[in-house]
Structures are given as C-alpha cells and as structure tokens.
Amino acid sequence: MDAENIGFILLLDAIEEVEAVEEEVILREPRRFFQRNDAFTLGDIQFIKMFRLTNEMVRNIQTKVLVALKFYAGGSYQMDVESIINLAVSQPSVSRYVREVTTTLNNPQIMNQWVKFPNTIEDLQSIRRE
C-alpha cells in the first residue's frame, strides 16, 4: 500500500465515525425538561418527609446563611446587612447568625470538603478574572 491508499482508507474511517456519531445524535431521545417547583409550597408532612426538617427550620437556616453571605461579601459592617428589608433581622441577630454560620463553616469536615482557597498566585489571578 502506498501513502495515497493509506490516506484514502483513513479518510473513509473518519467519515464512518462521523456518520456513526450523527446516527447516534439522531436516534438519541430528546431531552426532557421538568418544571421546577418551589419546595416551600409543599405541605408540612411532605416537606418533612423530603427534607427531614420543617419548612420553618429550613427558612431559618436559609436566612442565617443569606445574612452571613451578605456579611462576608460586604466586608465587615453588620449594619449593612441589617438594612436589607427582605431579611428583616436585627443587628444582634446578624451578629449571632454570622457567628453560627462561621463556626459551622470552620468545622473540619465542612471546611476540607467545601471551602477552597487559592494556593498559588496564578489561582488567585484566575479567580479575579472570573
């Protein structure tokens, strides 16, 4: 076999691979999208069965996390968090929530799995570009 024949055979193989992929795409079942429902609209019993917590407990946790995230993002002023009308929390509550969430995040099991800091200058610069 000469180089021309080998090239022709490789070209035929590539065409066959492309055709196989095209057939797979055509035969693939179309994607189905499901309607996203608000879990907070579930009844109390369903909510507890699904999450093992009451609706009120989850909302309380959600508020604590949102307050802490706002505090972390803002730097250091608790009054800034307190002024958010949607969260409707007092300054002492902000202080307590930030302490609770920070203590939880500092748990080694959570910290090691979920909290990542840049290790190199390149990592830091990459994060800044994002």
The predicted-structure confidence for 30-43, as pLDDT tens digits, reads as follows 777 777 777 788 88
- The predicted structure's pLDDT at residue 100: 93
Question: Which H or E run includes 90?
Answer: none
Mean pLDDT of the chain: 78
Residue labelled with tokens 């109390």: 44
Within a domain: 79: yes
CB 93, CB 63: distance < 8 Å: no
Residue labelled with tokens 């302490």: 99
For residue 30, the 8-state DSSP code is: P
Within a domain: 1: no
Mean pLDDT per block of 10 residues along the chain (130 residues) reads 63 75 67 75 86 84 86 70 66 87 90 84 86
Within a domain: 113: yes
Residues ≥6 apart with Cβ < 8 Å to 47: 39, 40, 53, 54, 55, 58
Structure tokens belonging to residue 120: 């190199």
Q: Among candidates 67, 128, 77, which has minimal Cα distance to 98?
A: 67
Within a domain: 97: yes
- The predicted structure's pLDDT at residue 42: 85
Within a domain: 19: no
Tell whether pTM > 0.75: no
- The predicted structure's pLDDT at residue 71: 83
- Count structural domains, the chain: 1
Within a domain: 71: yes
Within a domain: 67: yes
Amino acid at 59: R
| Separation CA 106–CA 96 (nearest Å) | 15
- The predicted structure's pLDDT at residue 99: 92
Domain that holds residue 74: 39-129
Within a domain: 28: no
- The predicted structure's pLDDT at residue 81: 58
